[in-house]
Amino acid sequence: MKKWRRMLKYIDKLSLFFLFLSIANYAIAQDDIDLEEIDSTKIEFEFIPKSFRVGMDMVGLVKTLSQNEYTELEITSDIAVDKYFLNFEYGILERNRVGDSINYFVNGTFLRVGLDFNFLKNDPDGNAFFFGVKYALGKSNHSLDFNYTDPIFGSISESREVNAINARWFEINTGIKVKLFWEIWLGFTGRLKFALKHDNTIVLDPYEIPGYGFSEQKVMWGFDYYVFYRIPFSKRKTQLPTEK
Amino acid sequence: MQEFIINQVKKKQLIIFFAILFIGVACIDESDCSYETTREVKFSFVDSGTLQTDTLQIDSIVIVGFDSAYYLNSTRSKISLPINPIVNETSYFFNLVVGEIDFSIVLGYEIMPRVLSEECGIEPEIKQLYVISHDVDSVVVVNNTFNEEVETNVKVYR
């Protein structure tokens, strides 16, 4: 039964990943159609940064405001260079998980750096449908108060604590960034997180890694919804090739 | 024609999306409180002279911290005994039948709590097993993993 549940979870994650791929494929096709309708004049690669965008994750913010003993804040930023976004993301997590026999506390920070490819480079408003990779680093502290009852040897109550646990992992990201009005943007990012490595101690096995999720999961899936503010470096809109 | 294809693709994507959402929701929050490791140490006995399997004529095995005795009046070459996940060592007293020499083994280890979930609590994992003392020829830890698949954790030569 457990294996089936795991398999279902795995299929679920893979399906979402392939759904994103199919949407990406669809977006590329649409972009191509638009271009074909106008012209297929080649636009040269520009190394000049076009804009700087800074945003905040709304999922974490809502959870922080609505839940007790939970703080998750994440700031994301990108610099647009031609059809690429250079990304920097920084976040904090502070969370208490309380059950009948445990009280687990984690707090830590994480940083993600990566590059996204924008499939909609020629969109006149600069809307983006992107796909990219990121490398993430995190540092966290963990503490656990627990009661455990063994059917043979009896009960124990104990506290354990580990600090400065380093973690690192990779992510494959995809999502959209859409202009709402003025320079306010909205976007979401779907994340496939994998290849987690973290410091091991015999004292306590970290249960949750800030920015990644459950440390025992080899692959984690995540969604972030962002509100951005964009600072353009030039007033010029993306130039579309002129009609013949 | 192009519009028709795009509409079909959109429909398909919607169907896939809701199907995935359904599976996703169905998979959320199913807590499985089963343990991944065991709290049993598996001994196998070896004749130190011939290095062949040794068979014990057991009268009883007593574990410190537990009142009952194990393997009463039995003959075994491999046995599985509980390890105490509350303290960092467990003492085993092997009382053999008349004519054989009784012996004892004390094992030491680390206990690492692994959080299963808020609902399920923790699973104590036994790590870094080692031999503290014994009064036979030799006792060797051959495997530090505690699960159903492992055949032997400790080999006892006597």
For chain B, list residues with pLDDT below 70.
1-31
Cβ–Cβ below 8 Å for B86 and A153: yes
pLDDT band of A144, cuts 50, 70, 90:
very high
Amino acid B111 reads I
Question: What average pLDDT does the structure give for chain B?
Answer: 82
Question: Which candidate in B86, B87, B123 is best for mutational testing of the A interface (most A CBs within 10 A)?
Answer: B86
A216, pLDDT greater than 80: yes
Cβ–Cβ below 8 Å for A207 and B16: no
Q: Which backbone phi and psi does B45 adopt, to 5 degrees?
A: -110, 135
In order of start, what are the domains of chain A with their CATH numbers? 42-232 (2.40.160.20)
Give the count of beta carbons closer than 10 Å to the beta carbon of residue A37. 9
pLDDT digits (tens, 9 = 90+) for A170-193: 999 988 888 888 889 888 889 999
Task: Give the separation between CA A218 and CA A197, rounded to whole angstroms.
Answer: 10
pLDDT digits (tens, 9 = 90+) for B46-68: 998 898 988 888 898 999 888 78
Q: Using CB atoms, pick whichever of B9, B87, B113 lies closest to residue A146.
A: B113
A153, pLDDT greater than 80: yes
A77, pLDDT greater than 70: yes
pLDDT at B31: 57
* Beta strand extents in chain A (DSSP E only): 49-57, 70-81, 84-98, 102-118, 128-150, 154-181, 184-198, 208-209, 213-214, 219-232
A38, pLDDT greater than 50: no
Cβ–Cβ below 8 Å for A19 and B34: no
pLDDT at A193: 93
This complex has an ipTM of 0.72
pLDDT at B105: 94
A154, pLDDT greater than 70: yes
**In which element (H, E) is residue A127 found?**
none
DSSP sequence for chain B: -HHHHHHHHHHHHHHHHHHHHHHHHHHTT------SS-SEEEEEEE-TTT-SB--EEEEEEEETT--SEESTTEEESEEEEE--SSSSEEEEEEEEPTTS--EEEEEEEEEEEEEEETTTEEEEEEEEEEEEEESSSEEEE-----STT---SEEEE-
Measured between CB atoms, does B114 come within 8 Å of chain A? yes
